[in-house]
Amino acid sequence: MKARATEARRAAVLGSPIAHSLSPVLHRAAYRELGLTGWTYDRFEVDEDGLPGFFAQLGPEWAGLSLTMPLKRAVIPLLDEISDTAASVEAVNTVVLTDDGRRVGDNTDIPGMVAALREHGIEQTDTAAILGAGATASSALAALARICTGEVVAYVRSAARAAEMRRWGERLEVDVRVADWADAAEALHHPLVVATTPAGTTDALASAVPERPVTLFDVLYDPWPTTLAARWSAYGGAVVSGLDLLVHQAVLQVEQVTGRAPAPLDAMRKAGEHALAGR
């Protein structure tokens, strides 16, 4: 149902830690641009133990939720339905609270990654590399399932992570080869490199950037640029940032929760850039 502009509706982002989240900045910018003057968007520090209690007190004024770590899997048992996209990686980052009281989960990270790459002219790639093997890496693998026609090489630190990436590859029907993190510099020669690791992890790889790099998708956005992204850009390579991902997945969230489309991508990106510049 299309949202009424002056109707008092609530939405929020949940997670732990949550103080750093840019989601309120992006969603509030969207509401302003869409003229949804009665809508509010907040952030709440909620961990896995506190999630059921938070859901129990949600009233009819609530329209939707954004979820970040560590809640993307913990929320699934609390939902009435999840999308095929969310089920494919067992992770929900968006919950729409319908007028008839149902809780519907989706994952906008995956199509958000695809949209961010498309915005930078990446429609398809023959091969790709993923740095890391955490929850974000599984979403990256699901995104690559849509655009990569050949092998994806995942560079990981442990046998357990290697087994997990192989399992995700089989589940998502992606040709995955696992390599040791000690050889991660080899990843930089692929036409598309997706860095999914925490801040500082890829800094040591910057000195190994080839003379003619192609495309780096670094999911971090603060601090930005990362050491790897800065060197990549200096050598003339294309860089897709974590802010690109954050904005594109938030656009899809706004459209689902409010029923208004298209969401104001440019206004949301500018609000995010302004907030990061002030940090």
Residues classed as catalytic: 72
187: amino acid identity, one letter: A
CB 2 within 8 A of CB 34: no
CA dihedral 235, 240, 241, 246 (to 10 degrees): 180
Select from 238, 239, 234, 241 the least CA-distant residue to 269.
241
CA distances 77 to 66, 110, 179, Å, are 16, 21, 34
Q: Before 77, cis peptide (omega within 30)? A: no
Q: 127 near 151, Cβ under 8 Å? A: yes
